[in-house]
Every structure is written in structure tokens, then in C-alpha cells.
Structure 1
Amino acid sequence: MIVRHDVTKPPETPLLDTVRFPSDLKAIDDKLLPQLAQEVRAEMIDAVSRTGGHLGAGLGVVELTIAIHKVFDTPHDRLIFDVGHQCYPHKILTGRRDRIRTLRQEGGLSGFTKRAESEYDDFGAGHSSTSISAGLGMAVASQLQGVKRNVISVIGDGAMSAGMAYEALNNAGALDARLIVILNDNDMSIAPPTGAMSAYLARMASGRTYMGIREAGKKLTAYLGESADRAISRAVGHARGYVTGGTMFEELGFYHIGPIDGHNLEHLLPVLRNVRDNGDGPVLIHVVTQKGKGYAPAEAASDKYHGVSKFDVVTGTQAKAKPNAPSYTAVFGEALVQEGTLDDKIVAITAAMPGGTGVDKFATAFPDLTFDVGIAEQHAVTFAAGMATEGLRPFCTIYSTFLQRGYDQVVHDVAIQKLPVRFPIDRAGFVGADGATHAGTFDTAYLACLPGFVVMAAADEAELKHMVRTAAAYDEGPISFRYPRGEGVGVEMPARGEILEIGKGRIVREGAKVALLSFGTRLAECLLAAEDLDAAGLSTTVADARFAKPLDHDLIRQLARHHEVLITIEEGSVGGFGSHVFQFLSSEGLLDGGLRARSMVMPDIFMDHASPEAMYARAGLDRRGIVDTVFRTLTGQARDTAQVSLLKP
């Protein structure tokens, strides 16, 4: 157990200090590796306590990570972590320890594996369930190129709940490629290890004698014909399955080993060495670990210590600033509970993110009406569609970036059939430390292009409450509403949301020369920018579009006809709200009369992690960026250059 009393200094790590790269592990005696594991754990806890980040999953794979790098020849042998937030110990051992206290900070290390960051990061992973597919691709590519190497995919932390993992397992078994899948079972969801007997059986099953007999058996049964071969192989697989629990994986074509204790290096090392040295084809090693291992607060509450803010190492208390306003996620959860209390047809669906989406609040109030389907967004969408066909009102609540994974189902199973599935979309816009993989960039563009879809964005927490009620009342087809991570702006909250008129925006501030048309929570920055523009002699109107689809045509006509400048502002990619506005302006001929119009969107890059404020400033979507865009539109120059000669009222 990690105990440290002086939190002002990094922990003492004499053995870890001798390890810079995995090659240094080769010189360390196996008997000293448990000490190294303790020191890696202490280093990781100290680093994350200072930066925040994912804690529990990484603590659970310390011994496994050490064992893999000790036994295999990385980076020649390929290693993929799934999901990527298990990779902090890996980063410590692969030449990045000196930067580990920059995790998720601007200019620092990514919180996930990232190919551009290190040759030891063989595949970028911010989303889950991709490792077996990627690993199989690497294994087959190596075979085709005549390169002998091991490919190891470490999959866990719920990632085996996604269909993509099973698609890859099925394909890998058929191809018989040299792929080692390590199933990191960190919530004992499949089977617990059974102590010494389990470890003994795993060593035997992975040893040269057993695997040699297996290969000889394959050659023998090949002479007996396909049907006999299949019957004998299945019989052997089932016999082993009774002992090891691996029947399903054997049926998919994998040689199954385990379950074994993932924290016991005396068990892990011989199994990994046996697998490295013996046999070929796909192998699955079932390893059981404890999320949060070695840090008492994380062991006791793995959910609360999955992702953490900065915290006190001794007490485990996380440092969280007192919010000035409720979070958007909390407002959504509470509003959904309120609507659910009044409508027994409302059900909530989430894909392994009940707390992250606010669905946990609904689950507390209505456990029988809440469905967490695991990391399975495709299933979540079609599951919701099925519910909608029977008259229920499903709220399929998924992060913007994760909804992309179910897009085909959104199109074919929801939109084409005009089913009234509600899509609350959390994490709209930049998300800060989680970086590009988690940014909510594309949902407006990929939903607003679908016929019959209603697409909304909340400008503040009160608007979000209105949109929850609007979606609950809307039965004509699919409807979505997006909202960002973080706190609201502190507006007065209604007792209950209002039902908004579909496709109608609102004027928030009246002016005469410049019109700012906002879609989403950049409205607050637009209002601040309007103050600066007024002070410069540019009378400014601010409008909240509310809807990207259907557009408020009357509002857009009014803004275009009565202002010299029209700027659209959104927290999304090109192809979204602004593109739809410009399509309408063009079709109506409203760009022909001298109107100067511009669209402000998130830049056409995948932006690295930083604070959300820094990211919006870099994107030009803050107060200053909006003002500068207006000045450039009028004069072709930035504000500071143009302001002296700018026309006055």
C-alpha cells in the first residue's frame, strides 16, 4: 500500500530511477519487480494528484505493464492499450517519466496513447474497443512483410462490451494471425482467478509441452478431414473450457489462457514468456486486476477515482472549485427526472456513461426505466429506436464524440423511419484536458444534414431545461440538443422548462449595424463582444438561433436585411449551423445586396489538449475573436489597427 507523508516532494523511487526505457527492465531481477511496481504506483499517484486525470485504470495495470515490457521486445513488438487511459504506467516506463507531471496540461503529455508522442505508442486510443482490430491489422501486415514480431492488445475497463471487439475476435480467429490479446478484467465481470490452481493451469496450458501437443493434434486431425477436425477441436476446447472458462474464445479460434491474477508477477511472467516462446496463432490471456490497486481511496470507490481532479495524496480529497452555477450535465439530469415524474413513457439510455451524462440522476429516481448498455453506442441507438416504435419516449444520452460511433444507426434505424428518439448530446465543443478525441466537434454537421431531424443547442442552463421539455413533448421524429461540459452561466432557472416552438430563435439584444447569430453557449461571449462593439460605435444585435434545423428563416431574413454585417458563431465544425445559414442566404439572394457575412466555427484541425478557455481563444471563438472578426469583415483589418479610422454612428 502506498503511504507518503511529505506531499511537497516526489516519492523516493530508487529502483524506478534506474529505468528510463523498457530495455532497462531486462537487467532487473524478477524478484525486484514487485518493488518496482510499488514505485511506479507511487510515481503515478503523485503525478495525477498534481495534474488530475485518469487514476483507477492505470493503477490496476502496473504489474501487467511491467511484465509486458519485461518479457517482450517493445517497440519492435507492438503494444496497444485499450482504452488509452490505462497507459500512464506505460508512459512512465517508456522515456516520458520526466514529463509525467505535464499530463493533460497545455503543451504536455496526452492523457491517452498518441502515435506522435512516442515510438512506444503504437496506436492512438481515446475511444475504446479498437485494440483487437488494430492489433490484428498490425499482425497481418507483419506476416505479409515477412517480419516476425508479437502484437499485444491489452483490452479492458469495459471495452469488451463493444461489438467491435467481438467482430475483431471473430476475424482474428479465422485468419490465425499471431495476435496476443490480454483481457484485463478489472471488475471481475467474467470470472475471478482461482488462486494457485488457476495459475498452475495457466502455466501448463501456455507451456511448450501442452502447446506442442496441441499443434501435433492439429496436424493429425487434418488428415481425418474437416468434419473430424472440427469435432475433435471442439471437444478439446470444451474440455479445457470446463477448467479455464475459455469456451467462447476457443470457439472464436483463440487459444485461451487464464484467468490469472494480474497483480502477481510470479504468475504473469512465466505465462507471458511461454506465450512469447511457444506456438503461433491468436492467443487470449484472461488477467484479473483490481481498478485503483495500491491506493486505498481508489480501491474503495473505483467509480469516483476513474477520472479525478487534483487531489491530496494522503486523504484522497479532490480539489474542486466551488461552482458559481450548476453544471449543464446536472441541469439535464434534474430536468429529465422532472419530466419523467410527469410522463411514465420517458426512458433513459446511456452507453457506459451514467455519471458523465447525468443519466445517473434519472437512474436513482427511475431504476427500472434506465438502461446502461455498456460501451455499445450502435446498440444504444437502435435499442432506443425499438423502444420508440412501441410508444415510449427514449432519451438516448451520449457524448457528441461517442455518438459518432452509432451514426449509421442514427441514419438508417432512426432518421429514415422518422422515429421520435431524443438525443441529448453532452460534451459539445471543446472539452479541455481530454483533447481532440473527446471534443464535441461534428454532431451539428452530421445530424443537421439528415432529413426530418430537429437539431437544437442550448445557449445556457435555462435554455437546456426548455429543450429537455421540448424534446419530451416532440413525437414527430428524431430530435437532438447539445450542451457543453462544465458550468452554466448563472442565469435564473425556471421552475420547469417551456415547450419551445420548433424552428424559432430569439433576439436577445437589439442593435442596428452588426448582427451576431449564435448557436449554442457562445451566446455569453457574443453578448460581451457586443458591449465592446457598441463602445467602438458599432451598434450590435445578438440573437440566439436555438435551432440549426429547421432554421428560423424569418429571423435570418430580418438580421440580413437590417444589418450591414451578419456573423454566425457556433461550437462546431464547418458544415454545421453556419453552413445551413449561408445556404439559405444564398438561395434567398440575401448575399446579393451588400450584406457582409461570415461564419465562425471550430478550426479545421484536431486541437491538442489545453484548458477550454485557451482552446476557445486559440480558435477565435471568444469575446476578442468575435470582435476581431467583425472588424476584419468591415475593414479587412484587426480591431487594434482599424479602430482609429472605423466609421462612426
Structure 2
Amino acid sequence: MTLSTDRSGEATRPDTRRDTAPPGERSPFPSGLLRDIAGPKALAGLTLGELERLATEIRELLVQSVTLTGGHLGPNLGVVELTLALHRVFDSPHDRILFDTGHQVYTHKLLTGRQDFSRLRAEDGLSGYASRSESEHDVIENSHASTALSWADGLAKAHQVSNDGRRVVAVIGDGALTGGMAWEALNNIGGAADRPIVIVLNDNGRSYDPTVGALAEHLAGLARMDAPGPGEPSTRAGGNLFEHLGLRYIGPVDGHDIAAVEHALRQAGELRGPVIVHCLTRKGHGYAPALADEADRMHAVSAARPPRQGPGGRADTWTSVFSREMVRIGDERSDVIGLTAAMLGPVGLRAFAEAFPDRVFDAGIAEQHTVTSAAGLSMAGLHPVVAVYATFLNRAFDQFLMDVALHRCGVTFVLDRAGVTGDDGPSHNGVWDMSLLQVVPGVRIAAPRDADRLREELREAVVVRDAPTVVRFPKGHVGEPIPPLGRIGGMDVLRQPMEAAADVLVVAVGAMAATCLDVADLLLSRGISATVVDPRWVVPVDAALPELARSHRLVVTVEDNSRASGVGAAVAQALQDADVDVPMRTFGLPAFFPEHAPRERVLAAAGLTPPVIADAVLRVLKTTHTRTMTSRREHVR
């Protein structure tokens, strides 16, 4: 495969082969020089020409592999030379190399003995992020941005105390540098002039979208400065923010020039204090289609379409349904404002931004700031809609609680990727939001089961002006509509037996509704009748639910959230408060970090499939019946 770029990485002609070549004709396995790289030490004897050839081989493999399996393509194409230089200068794993976020570690994996990318992000395959279980070269694996500098600070302190000579290198992007935690770390790192830490700033001007804010302007100004010439000192005295914080500054360096990056890193490694190496890179470098993608430089690509699947007929995603409904609401209400944290496209706000450019604010990777800023917008009479991935709202829980809820601000939070996300890996799962948020006084949480409910519950949410509202939905395509048979209180009835009293009440949470209907069918085939309801708004628990539960032998809740303090726990508390003494069984995720695998496999491993749930319900009913009969016999005696 020949990449459509010239030597500088500029696009020359569009390369459409990734869209037309049958997947079976491409082999995502290493060849040439790369095949002989068993570990970082193998790089030491390579000439500059061989390193450049190796960089080309790596890009070819990344394009071939990631367009087949799906994954982060653009970010990894942008750090090939930078990663080669890192592993030539520093001795991993003795020296600690940390990658902030970790979605740009594919070259790092290839150079540290992990070259089978055929099952990237698939069960039993390589993780899409750093993973300590894969390699001793992976130090941290939390894929939430802006944390690496704090990790580096702690590790550097430990190595200074133990005097073991290990060096610490943290690679962080300009997008991640917009997060407040990064600046808390820089404040501490810059204050310790005798503690060596090398910070590599991978400046490509983007996270998903172009980096926003004053920092982006400052970095752009530094990038326009001329790099030192031959014989000139590489460190620059005065004149930039990092130096004012106490860090030495080296750069700007062309991040695609292996020799230049290696030279800068060797200089940085010899300094006995904190230093930042400013590398200018281009997301998607070396692959014309990525460079031509103005939206996000092919930040993340989906797996290749199976050969027999034709174009068209693609189901709507949850995100696209939200996106279109937000535009409709925006047309009707000029007070509705969109906010996000560096994820305008992924969370579905791009169409809203195009329709109402003055009513969207992207704060960068700054969830805490975004939430409190939304509270301010609400206090001024507007209705903010904060759209983030469910896992990222964890970072702003205090602001949600103390700034939004305490001040009774009407802010709607739309949580994309709620529940099990599957191939994104442990830290991207959204299985904690309903456990965390239901402790917040006054909060209202909706979990739509289909596209129609998402549209109507979003509209109900933005009407609330005196409390935070949450609308959560999973990753992926929306299933078929599940129309209600009727309503009890605020709950939709999805299945109602003919007889007056059913055996089991199944409370279906959000996207688990289809699973619950299948459970009801299996139970019916065994002679057990079931009522299935969708609460729609799962917090607070609907006032009609306890009385409905009273007429059943067993109450079952099914959710794709942690069972610990989840919806099941809230329902159990509601039944107890109402003196409803009916046995209950909750089905959800155990307290663990799900590994990367298809959503269906993760749910199956947690026992969240119709056969497993139905069998468990039958066992509970049998046990309850046995206990009841025993109690009656004891009473007769």
C-alpha cells in the first residue's frame, strides 16, 4: 500500500482504497523492518533512513488495521515519529513514559511487542488504550484526559525520594491541556525546580475539534516562533507561559522530524528539572483522507462494513436522534443553549451549533467548568443542555451537586454512552451515573427505551426550571420502537397479563426494555405471568410503583448500570418506605470495570440476558413459594 502523501506529509491525491478494497484482501500484520522490532531496544541500531522507513511501515499497518477493526486513527497517525523518538531516548519500562488519555498509543504498542492488531478493541484482543495487563511498558490506563501530569508529578516525587535514577516522561496533547487538572499539576511541577520531569506537548491544534480558548491562541503564538538554529541554545529565556510557571521550554520542534524530536528529547532528559518539549504534529499525518477530514481528522473510525452489507438502511443512532430533536427544540425556544466539553460532534451538538452558532459553547476538556458555567446560564434565565459522555460527568459530580442542584438551577444533562459501551474499554463505560446522581436532592433522571421516548423525555426535561434533569442513553443504534399499552402513573405499561394479578412485576430501565419483554415471554412459556413497565423517569421512583408492586409476588428491576445504589436500590427503598412487603430481585452490573468487548458480551457476562434473568426469576419464585408453604405449616402447628 502506498500512502497518498509527499515527503512533508501533505496530501497529494485522495486515497479511496480503504473504502473499496475488500477486507479480506488486506493483511493488518507487520512486515519489513517492523516485523523485527520485538521491543524498544531494537530501535537503537537503526539509521535515520531506516527509522523513516519504519515510520512509513507503521502508518501503513495502522491504516490497514484500524479501518478494518475501528479505533482511533487520526491521533495515532500524528505521533508515529514522536513515539519512535521517545523509545530511542528513554529506556522504557525503567523510565516511565505516560500517555495522557492513551488513545494515541498504537505506535507505542507496536514498538513494545504488541503487533497483532487484527482484534483491536475486540474481546481477547488489544485494548484501544494503554493497558497494564498487556505490557509492563503501559504505566497508566485511565483514558480520561488531563491526568498524566499529576501521575508524572507523583511518580517523579517517588523516584526522587528513592533516588533510583528513573526518569518520568508525560506526553499530553494541547486539547488535554485545556483541562483544569493539568494546570493544577503544572503549578506543582513548576514549583519544584530540582525535580526532573519531561513533558512532551503534542500540539496538533485539536482534540476532536480545533482546540478552543486563550491557551490555544498562546500555543499558536509559540508555534510561530522560529526554532533555534544550529549551534544556538535550545532553551528559550522568558516570553512564554510555561517558563513563567518555572518550566524550561524547548521548541517548537517539528514532531514529524525524527532527528529533531530525538535531539530535543535528549536535551530535555539531561536537564535536572521540569522541562516541556513543544512538538508540532498533525493529526492524521501521512494519510490523505484523514488530512482532508475537516470534522475531526478521522479521530475515530468505525469497523469496516461486512462485505455483504450494502449501503443505506442504516438505523438511527441514539446520538443522531438527540441531535435532530435538539435542533427542533432550538427552533422553538431561543432560551435553550448547548454546552459540551471538547466533544461537539461526538455528543450530537454539531447540527445545533450550525443552526444556532451563538447558542453553543465548547469549553474544551473542562467538565467541571462546563457544569458550573451552565449553572450561571440557568441563573440568568436560560436553559442550558450539557451534552457529555456519561463517564465524563463523573469528573464534575461536585459541581452538579453544589452548583446546579443546591442552587436549584434548571440544567439538562444529556449523557451519551450511558451503560455498557463495549469496545471502548473500562474507563469509558457509563455504568455509574444512576448510582452517583440519584443521591442528589431534587434530581430527575430519564432513561428512554427507544427513539420516541428519547424525543419526548428530552422535551419534558427542558421544561424543568428549578432542578437538574438527566436524560441518559447508550452507545450505538436505536432499536425498534416499543409502543406502550397504557400508562400507570407516569410509567408506560409494556406488557400486561389478562388476569388481574400477575406473578412478577418487571421494571425495565431504558434500553433494557426489549430484554425485559423477552424475559416476560420466557416466563409465560413456563406458566408465569409478568407485568412489564418502563418508569420513563427512573429517579425519583414513580409514586404509583409501590402500589402496583403490592399486587405481585415478586418485583424485578433490570438496568445496565451498577447494581450498587442503582435504580433497583431506589425501587427497593420506595417499597420499604411504602410498607410494601414483596420480595425483590435486582439485575444490573456488578461492581467491576468491564473490559473491552462487544456490549452484548459484557451484558451476557453480567447475566443480563433473557434466559439467565428468567431462570433466576423462576428460582426466586420457587424459593419464595417453598418458604411460604413452610411458614404456613409452622403456623398450623
2:123 is the counterpart of 1:136:
no
TM-score by length of 1: 0.86
* Aligned CA distance change for structure 1 residues 541 and 11 (closer, same or farther; 3 Å): closer
Instruction: Determine the structure 1 residue equivalent to 2:490.
Output: 504
Instruction: Determine the structure 1 residue equivalent to 2:627.
Output: none
2:583 is the counterpart of 1:565:
no
AA paired with 1:509?
R
CA distance in 1, matches of 2:83, 2:607: 41
C-alpha offsets along residues 435-461 of structure 1, whole Å, 9 cap, x if unaligned? 211111111111111111111111111
**Paired residues for 1:408-427 under 5 Å:** 408-427=398-417
2:538 is the counterpart of 1:537:
no
CA distance in 1, matches of 2:395, 2:374: 15
Instruction: Determine the structure 2 residue equivalent to 1:457.
Output: 447
* Aligned CA distance change for structure 1 residues 360 and 91 (closer, same or farther; 3 Å): same
Identity of aligned residues (%): 40
2:99 is the counterpart of 1:109:
no
**Paired residues for 1:195-274 under 5 Å:** 197-200=226-229, 204-206=232-234, 237-238=237-238, 241=239, 247-274=240-267
Shift of residue 262, structure 1, vs aligned partner: 0.2
CA distance in 2, matches of 1:292, 1:609: 24
Instruction: Determine the structure 1 residue equivalent to 2:566.
Output: 576
1:290 pairs with one of 274, 282, 289? 282
Shift of residue 187, structure 1, vs aligned partner: 2.2
Shift of residue 310, structure 1, vs aligned partner: 2.5
Structure 1: unaligned runs, 5 residues or longer: 211-235, 242-246, 495-499, 638-649
* Aligned CA distance change for structure 1 residues 39 and 421 (closer, same or farther; 3 Å): same
2:273 pairs with one of 255, 272, 281? 281
Does structure 2 conserve the Cα–Cα contact (< 8 Å) formed by 1:195 and 1:261?
no
* Aligned CA distance change for structure 1 residues 194 and 352 (closer, same or farther; 3 Å): closer
Shift of residue 501, structure 1, vs aligned partner: 11
Shift of residue 107, structure 1, vs aligned partner: 1.1
CA distance in 1, matches of 2:339, 2:202: 26
TM-score by length of 2: 0.87
CA distance in 1, matches of 2:552, 2:174: 54
Q: How many residues align?
A: 586
CA distance in 1, matches of 2:483, 2:513: 17
Structure with greater proportional helix content = 1
Give SS of 2:262's match: helix
Aligned alpha-carbon RMSD (Å): 2.6
1:477 pairs with one of 467, 478, 481? 467
AA paired with 2:491?
G
2:138 is the counterpart of 1:121:
yes
Give SS of 1:571's match: strand
CA distance in 1, matches of 2:489, 2:376: 27
CA distance in 2, matches of 1:576, 1:184: 39
Shift of residue 252, structure 1, vs aligned partner: 0.8
* Aligned CA distance change for structure 1 residues 466 and 304 (closer, same or farther; 3 Å): farther
* Aligned CA distance change for structure 1 residues 139 and 602 (closer, same or farther; 3 Å): same
* Aligned CA distance change for structure 1 residues 71 and 636 (closer, same or farther; 3 Å): farther
Shift of residue 204, structure 1, vs aligned partner: 3.7
Does structure 2 conserve the Cα–Cα contact (< 8 Å) formed by 1:333 and 1:359?
yes
Instruction: Determine the structure 2 residue equivalent to 1:607.
Output: 594
Shift of residue 191, structure 1, vs aligned partner: 2.5
2:458 pairs with one of 455, 465, 468? 468
Instruction: Determine the structure 1 residue equivalent to 2:211.
Output: none
C-alpha offsets along residues 503-522 of structure 1, whole Å, 9 cap, x if unaligned? 82222211311110112110
CA distance in 1, matches of 2:29, 2:571: 56
AA paired with 1:391?
G
Does structure 1 conserve the Cα–Cα contact (< 8 Å) formed by 2:421 and 2:428?
yes
Instruction: Determine the structure 2 residue equivalent to 1:171.
Output: 188
Instruction: Determine the structure 2 residue equivalent to 1:514.
Output: 504
Instruction: Determine the structure 2 residue equivalent to 1:363.
Output: 353
AA paired with 2:321?
V
2:336 is the counterpart of 1:346:
yes
**Paired residues for 1:29-48 under 5 Å:** 29-48=47-66
2:438 is the counterpart of 1:448:
yes
Shift of residue 325, structure 1, vs aligned partner: 3.3
* Aligned CA distance change for structure 1 residues 601 and 430 (closer, same or farther; 3 Å): same
CA distance in 2, matches of 1:309, 1:419: 38
Instruction: Determine the structure 2 residue equivalent to 1:218.
Output: none
C-alpha offsets along residues 34-63 of structure 1, whole Å, 9 cap, x if unaligned? 111111111222221221100000010000
Give SS of 2:137's match: coil
CA distance in 2, matches of 1:388, 1:197: 45
C-alpha offsets along residues 120-173 of structure 1, whole Å, 9 cap, x if unaligned? 001113111111110111111100111112211010161111111111111101
CA distance in 1, matches of 2:226, 2:451: 56
